[in-house]
Amino acid sequence: MEDRHQYLTAMLSRQSVIEQAIQDDTVLADLTLDQSKALALAERLTVIKSGSAMSRASFIWQQIQGRATKEWFEEWCDIWGIPAFQEQLVDVSDFRNGFMWRFRDHTTSWSENQYALEWFLTSIEAQTVTRYELWSCDNGLNECIEEITGNYKYILQALLEAGVYEVLISPIFTSEELTSFVEEFDEDEHDFELEEILEDYISRNPNFVAE
């Protein structure tokens, strides 16, 4: 168990290989929808010429060609910065055109669900996601009990509005947005203490500036 904790903790701080190839004008959500844009990023990865970059470019090409990529993904994913979670919390079916299109969140019935959620909230890999699902097995069968469709920022804002304050650790929220949230938060309306949200979540956001 300690080995898994050490592995996952290390993976949460590992930089994604695609970060080296993303340009300022790259719209991450487009990568799972537009094959030409995915191929353009694959070409930029080949310029890096590292094993991780070349293998990821190959993964992109293989998925676009419709080839089976399960074994390739499982061999290389943690080298790319994608943790190999137990119970297939993230697997190759969550990728399209070589990039993550769906994140399947899970309840605490899955042992590594919190690690997976933190990775989703902090990794640039997840910013290509256009679909969020919440899975539960409370009724005896694995079932999706919630779905949100939209770009990554839209999904996190929808979760925040639903009271999932953990999303505030995500660097997708700017310093100005965090400040606005703190200034406008009404403890009576939300039945939650702002100090707790600040300590547990906002303080972990790299964009947060304490006053």
Render pLDDT for 170-188 as a digit per residue (tens, 0 to 9).
999 999 999 999 999 999 8
- 194 domain residue, yes or no: no
With a CB cutoff of 8 Å and minimum separation 6, the contacts of 81 are: 11, 14, 15, 16, 17, 19, 123, 125
Statement: residue 25 has pLDDT above 80: no
Domain annotation covers residue 190: no
Residue 171 maps to a domain: no
Average pLDDT over residues 66-89: 96
Q: Are 22 and 129 in contact (CB under 8 A)?
A: no
The parent domain of residue 39 ranges over 2-152
pLDDT value at 1 more than 70: no
- 47 found inside a domain: yes
Within-domain flag for 121 = yes
The arithmetic mean of pLDDT across residues 35-58, rounded, is: 96
| Number of independent structural domains in the chain | 1
- Tell me what the mean pLDDT of segment 7-22 comes to: 94
Does residue 93 belong to any structural domain of this protein? yes
182 lies in some domain: no
User: Do the domain assignments include residue 176?
Assistant: no
pLDDT tens, position by position, 121-172: 999 999 999 999 999 998 888 999 999 999 999 999 999 999 999 999 999 9
